[in-house]
Amino acid sequence: MESAPKRRQPVAVDVNFLFDLADGVEDATDAHDLLVRRLPGLTFILTPTVQHELAHLATTGRTPLKRTTARKAIRLAHERGMQPRSLSAVEMGIAEQVARRLRVCGLIPESEIHDSFLPPEAALLGCRMLVTSDEHLLGADFARLSLEMSAFDLDAPVIASPHNVVRKFFR
């Protein structure tokens, strides 16, 4: 009996995860390597917001170190086969509406506009997980996030820190 071909499993990553990889932070490198080993067919995805944020930081980051790290993160993402993905205009409109809802209902602080786009963009791109070190995202109540996103017919991605990925997946 033939086995079914392995389906690509997309995992979205946040800018801070890419910066940690670029800086050689152990939890980030371990989480990346562990996910690659444990999830055959895994594809790391750079959402539109992550791409825009990286490009902005690489060119106009507040410090030379920030700009250098952003460029290194972009290069590393490319070398590791992380895939930038785009959304259609309609999907971007949906992401904007969901992001606004996540801020209005208090799941993500009103000031964290970029962060609020990551869960809907990840969901629209078929990602079941979002890897981040951002406390605004990690602290969001997953049950409530799922409920709010389901109103837009989206499945909320599991939001995990690199540390939790290593702790939960390592055997």
**How do beta strands 158-160 and 42-46 pair?**
unpaired
Quote the domain boundaries for residue 133: 9-169
Residue 28 lies in a domain: yes
pLDDT of residue 171: 57
Quick check: helix, strand or coil at residue 44? strand
Residue 2 lies in a domain: no
Place of tokens 């940690």: 20
Identify the band that residue 1 occupies on the pLDDT scale cut at 50, 70 and 90. very low
Which amino acid belongs to residue 86?
Answer: S
Residues 6+ apart with CB under 8 A from 64: none
pTM summary value: 0.92
Q: What is the CATH number of the domain that holds 24?
A: 3.40.50.1010
Residue 132 lies in a domain: yes
